[in-house]
Amino acid sequence: MAAELLSPAEAQGAAEVAARLRDNLNTVLLDQESVVEQVVVAVLARGHVLLEGLPGLGKTELCKSLAKLLALPFRRIQFTPDLLPGDITGTYVLEGEGRREFVFREGPLFASLVLADEINRSSPKTQSALLEAMQERRVTVLGQTRTLPDPFFVLATQNPIELEGTYPLPEAQLDRFLFRIQVPPVGAKTLRALLTTRVRGAPPELSPVLDGEGLARLFAAADRVHLPGPVADFIARLVEASDPRQASAPDAVRRFVRYGASPRAALALAAAGRARALLSGRPNVGFDDVVAAAPAALNHRLVLAYEASLEKVSAPDVVRALLQAVPEVPRD
Amino acid sequence: MLAPVRRVQRRLNAVAWAQASIVPLWATVTACVLARLLLRDACVWLLPPFVLAGLTWGWLRARERGVSLEQAAVLADRSANAGGLLLTRLERPVGEWELTVNQLVRDVKPPVVAWRRPVGALSGALLFLLIGFLLPLPAPRGPRAPHAAAAAKVEAVKAQAEALAREEPLGEAVEDELRRLAEEVAAGRFDSGDWEAADSLERRLAERAAEAAAELAQASEAARDLEEALGAAGGAESASREREALERALMGLESPEASNGESQPEGEDSQEQASARSGEGQQGQQGQQGQDPNGTQGASPSGQEGSEGSKDQAQRQAQARAQAGGAPDQISELRQSLERRQQSLAQRFEPREGQGQQASSRRSGPRQRQGARERGEGAPRPGQDGEQRGEGEGQGEGEGQGEGEGQGEGQGQGNKGHASRGVRSGTGTEGGGPGSLVFGGEAEMDPDRLAFEPLPEGQGGEAGELWGLEAADPRRSTGTAGAAGSRGTSARGEATAGPGAQPLLPRNRELVKRYFGGE
């Protein structure tokens, strides 16, 4: 039995809260409305976000501001090559006097909002320690599984240019992220505003707009957003067309994509669509919600072929071609 | 709520169905028009299946291209900028969102569809159908020309064969060949080989007809000779009876007693006979001077009965015939019958001169002789002796050597033969006269006889497609071809012997034997 549809009042209330969160983040991260909106959508969809951009664009500040606004426990992990899995998940420590025993000391993952800064600089072994935490929202140390707090968000950052001494995330790791958001560089106007409004670059003081209970209501409201059949069909066809082996795949996908998006991508699109609909105050997902969420939700799930790098075709370019090729209303 | 969505659906479906119906409609219309052009009235039975098939095909295509309600709802949702709320409304109740839905429904705009192309294509198909059924059809074609010509050819050969069959049996081979040719014509398989077979058969029939005509002419001649012999015998017998009566009268004059009682009738009879003799003598003198009222050209010398009048001659001839027991009448009827059969056979084969040249050249001999004899026998026949008849024959043969003159006079009905045939008859059979020998150069050839006739369609191709066929067109060298043809047929005419030179046929021989008492 489908959940009852959101009433206009509920949808409007959720939209106002989400808009307040978005507006506050926009005061921290200037002239990055799209990035902020996508981050808010990812939070409402309870998804993890991979922020990718040059250093100094405010990625870390965005995560810290989000933690403040949501009043959630926040931890920051600076990933380095010598970082061990136990350093992030926690480990048993022999403690006590007299009768000494091993006591589990929780790692930084045991927080609601975890900032994995420069995640691509740690070893794959450490990166893989995040897999279970991100997907299952629990960690297993020495055979004991421990549940992570709810909500649990991982906001990871990576530098796309400093590739020496880095370990690119494997596809399985990337697939755990709801969005990979490209943080674009800012212009002079934004820099000027940054220089004139902030002292030593310090962001303005933020006060929480949501507590844990309010965030839970937002999550519940997002779950009640209706996904119409035609829109779900559109999502399915979109994900299917991203596979170059499918007959419905457009030419761009056939040429530049080696592996398409997984079913997890379809789930991510549906969740992001619901979050965007909620952010807009609507009780149902529309095609525009899916189209708006598709680039961030699909670009890191497409494994590009060698021809794409030769012709300097990026994943967002392929996603745009995909959106143009797949109609909202199926032909034939 | 559904009304605007259904409106959108109907609009889209109309265009989709119209586009889907273009190909089936054109195919159906084309099939119907072709059926009407090819089958004419029989197309009425084909139209319902065609229409049914077209409708089925169009329905299948339209069903594939039809727009569903869900698709129409998506388009309506997008046109109203409802953000999926109309789609949600179609799937589940929206509760408090109903008012918003109603407001959005009013904003639904019908989609813009490209209707001109499908409507134009469908209109064109219907126009084509209209033109195709209103177009007047040409008159139905009759049997194919090659078959008609073949049928005419076979019919002509069969007619000749029937005419010949009255004179002599044809034989199984000829009948089988005729039957086979008729079957080939009926089956439409009459090919070039059959044409050659028909020509060959016609040629053989003509040759046999010529032979039969020659035999008939011989029989007719024999009958005529027999008739003349009977007439002469009757004349001699009546003369002997007159002589006996005269002797008896003379014996009566020598005995007066007997003459008182019986001489009166005898005397009257002798006086009549004497007067008749004086009349015959006058008649003989007139005949000697060439003033015979019967128009004979024979110079009649003063014979023994030359003074008899024409009335007495007729009476005497009738008396002789009566005394002969009716045999001369039967022989005359036999001769006339033979002549009629000969003419009938000749008329049957005469019109086809092209194929019967050889036969006509053979026929010309006896016919010419016959004509000559009719001319020579015109006057001297009644009551004249063999000397008169001998002169008549000699003169008739002399006239028969001219070009065509002998034949025309012989038939006595103005049947002018072709000039080339006249040449053949004169030089081929009755040679020896003073007539000059005429070669083919002076002959007149009808160019239409050698008119170019292309082979039947399917039996050898068209004239324009065969190399060298145009060069063989006889119209381009009419004079040369006519002269050559005339010479060729003339050579065949010379090779055929006249009927007089041939031995008497057995049936005629039996007739002559009976007449001459078995000798």
SS3 letters for A77-141? EECCCCCCHHHHHEEEEEECCCCCEEEEEECCCCCCEEEEECHHHCCHHHHHHHHHHHHHCEEEE
Rounded CA gap, A265 and A176, in Å?
9
* Cross-chain residue pair A2–B92, CB shorter than 8 Å: yes
Q: Which CATH number is correct for A1-43+222-332, 1.10.8.80, 3.40.50.150, 2.60.120.200, 3.40.50.1980?
A: 1.10.8.80
What is the arithmetic mean of pLDDT over B396-408? 39
Residue in B with minimal Cα distance to A281: B83
What pLDDT sits at residue A179?
93
Cβ–Cβ gap A283/B91 under 8 Å: no
Q: Rounded to a whole number, what is the distance in Å from the CA of B39 to chain A's nearest CA?
A: 39
Q: What residues in chain B have their Cβ under 8 A from chain A's Cβ atoms?
A: 64-65, 70-71, 73-75, 77-78, 82-85, 87-88, 90-97, 100
Contacts of B88 in chain A (CB under 8 A): 5, 226, 228, 283-284
Nearest-by-CA chain B residue for A3: B92
Closest A-chain CA to B73: A230
Q: What is the pLDDT of residue A49?
A: 93
Cβ-based neighbours of B368, under 8 Å, separated by 6 or more: B400, B406, B407, B410, B425, B429, B430
Chain B contact set for A332 (CB, 8 A): 64-65
Question: Which of A5, A285, A332 minimises the CB distance to B92?
Answer: A5
**Residues B88, A5: C-beta atoms closer than 8 Å:** yes
**Strand A101-106 vs strand A90-95: parallel, antiparallel, or unpaired?**
antiparallel
Chain A residues near residue B97 by CB distance under 8 angstroms: 5, 8, 283
Tell whether the model's pLDDT for residue B256 goes beyond 70.
Answer: no
- The minimum CA-CA distance between B38 and chain A, rounded to whole Å, is 39
In this prediction, residue A161 carries a pLDDT of 77
Question: Alpha carbon B18 to chain centroid distance?
Answer: 63
Q: Is residue B251 part of a domain?
A: no
- B contacts of A285 (beta carbons < 8 Å): 84
Residues of A in contact with B75 (CB under 8 A): 329
Local confidence band at B120 (pLDDT 50, 70, 90 cut-offs): very high
Nearest to A5 among B64, B65, B97 (CB): B97
Give the residue-averaged pLDDT of B446-464: 64
Between chains, do B100 and A282 touch, taking CB under 8 Å as contact? no
Give which of A112, A108, A56 is closest to A83, Cα–Cα. Answer: A108
User: In terms of Cα–Cα distance, which of B373, B391, B54, B406 is closest to B225?
Assistant: B373
Q: What is the pLDDT of residues A116-159, one digit of tens each?
A: 988 888 888 888 888 888 888 888 888 888 999 888 999 999 88
Searching chain A, which residue's CA lies closest to the CA of residue B89? A228
Strands A303-304 and A74-78 turn out to be unpaired
Length of chain B, please? 519
Contact A228 B91 (CB under 8 A): yes
In Å, the largest CA–CA distance within chain B is 178
Quote the mean pLDDT of chain B.
Answer: 67
Using DSSP's 3-state secondary structure scheme, residue A157 falls into strand
Query: What is the SS3 assignment for A50?
Result: strand
Identify whether the C-beta of residue A267 lies closer than 8 Å to the C-beta of residue A178: no
Contact list, A228 vs chain B (CB under 8 Å): 84, 87-88, 90-91
What DSSP string runs through B280-319? HHHHHHHHHTT--TT---S-----TTTT--HHHHHHHHHH
The Cα of A155 is separated from the nearest Cα of chain B by a number of Å equal to: 30
Residue B295 pLDDT greater than 90, yes or no: no
Residue B205 scores a pLDDT above 50: yes
Taking residue A298's Cβ as centre, other Cβ atoms within 10 Å add up to 26
Q: A304 forms bridges with which residues in the sheet?
A: A257
Which span out of A304-318, B87-101, B183-197, B354-368 was modeled with the highest average pLDDT? A304-318
Percentage with pLDDT > 70 across chain B: 53
Would you kindly state where each structural domain of chain A is located, as residue ranges?
Answer: 1-43+222-332, 46-185
Would you say residue B52 has pLDDT above 90?
Answer: yes
Q: Strand pairing partners for A74?
A: A113
Q: In the structure, what pLDDT confidence band is assigned to residue B238 with cuts at 50, 70 and 90?
A: confident
Nearest chain B Cα to A278, which residue?
B83
User: Are B253 and B259 within 8 A, CB to CB?
Assistant: yes
Is residue B356 included in any domain, yes or no? no
Query: How much is the pLDDT for B285?
Result: 44
d(CA A208, CA B335) in angstroms, rounded, equals 150
Write out the two tokens for A242: 């991203």
- Span A236-277, pLDDT tens digits: 999 999 999 998 899 999 999 999 999 999 999 999 999 999
How far, in Å, CA of B280 to CA of B312, rounded? 9
* A328–B84 C-beta distance less than 8 A: no
> A-side interface with B, Cβ within 8 Å?
2, 4-5, 7-8, 226, 228-231, 277, 280, 282-289, 328-330, 332
With CB atoms and an 8 Å threshold, state whether A284 touches B87: yes
| Residue of chain A with shortest Cα separation from B63 | A332
In a domain, B433, yes or no: no
Contacts 24+ apart (CB under 8 A), B69-72: B69/B2, B69/B5, B69/B6, B69/B9, B70/A229, B70/A230, B71/A230, B71/A329, B71/A330, B71/B9, B71/B12, B72/B5, B72/B6, B72/B8, B72/B9, B72/B12
Phi, psi of A28 (to 5 degrees): -85, -50
CATH for A46-185 is: 3.40.50.300
B97 CA: distance to closest CA in chain A (Å): 7
pLDDT, average across residues B288-302: 40
What residue in A sits closest to B64 (Cα-Cα)?
A332
Question: What's the predicted TM-score (pTM) here?
Answer: 0.55
- B21-43 b/e (C-beta count within 10 Å ≥ 16 → b): bbebbbbbbebbbebbeeeeeeb
Statement: residue B463 has pLDDT above 60: no
Give B92's contacts in chain A (Cβ within 8 Å): 2, 5, 226
pLDDT score, position B437: 55
Which whole number is the average pLDDT over B310-331? 57
Q: Is the dihedral of CA B306, B273, B235, B228 positive or negative?
A: positive
Cis peptide before A151 (omega within 30 of 0): yes
A280/B95 CB distance under 8 A: no
**SS3 sequence, B340-399?**
HHHHHHHHHHCCCCCCCHHHHHHHHHHHHHHHHHHHHCCCCCCCCCHHHHHHHHHHHHHH
Alpha-carbon distance B96 to nearest alpha carbon in chain A (angstroms): 6
What is the structure's pLDDT at B124?
95
The stretches of chain A forming alpha helices (DSSP H) are: 8-28, 33-44, 59-70, 85-89, 124-136, 171-175, 188-197, 212-223, 229-241, 251-256, 263-280, 287-298, 306-310, 315-325
Residue B379 confidence (pLDDT): 37
Q: Residue B56 above 90 pLDDT?
A: yes
Measure A228 CA to nearest chain B CA, in Å: 6
- At residue A253, the pLDDT reads 93
User: If we measure between CA atoms, which residue out of B194, B188, B200 comes closest to residue B160?
Assistant: B200
Q: How many beta-carbon pairs below 8 A join chains A and B?
A: 68
Cα–Cα distance, B113 to B196 (Å, whole number): 71
Measured between CA atoms, the residue of chain B closest to residue A330 is B71
Half-sphere exposure of residue B499: CA atoms within 13 angstroms, side-chain side: 28
Cβ pair B87:A5 closer than 8 A: no
Give which of A329, A331, A332 to mutate to test B binding, by max B Cβ within 10 Å.
A329
Q: Angle, to 10 degrees, between the axis of helix B478-495 and the axis of helix B357-376? A: 60
Mean pLDDT of B427-456: 56
Round to whole Å and give the CA distance between A41 and A22. Answer: 9
Question: Residue B285: how many CB atoms within 10 A of its CB?
Answer: 14
Q: Which parts of chain A register pLDDT below 70?
A: 1-2, 331-332
How far is the alpha carbon of B23 from chain A, nearest alpha carbon, in Å?
17
Task: Flag if B84 and A286 touch (Cβ within 8 Å).
Answer: yes
Mean pLDDT of B5-10: 88
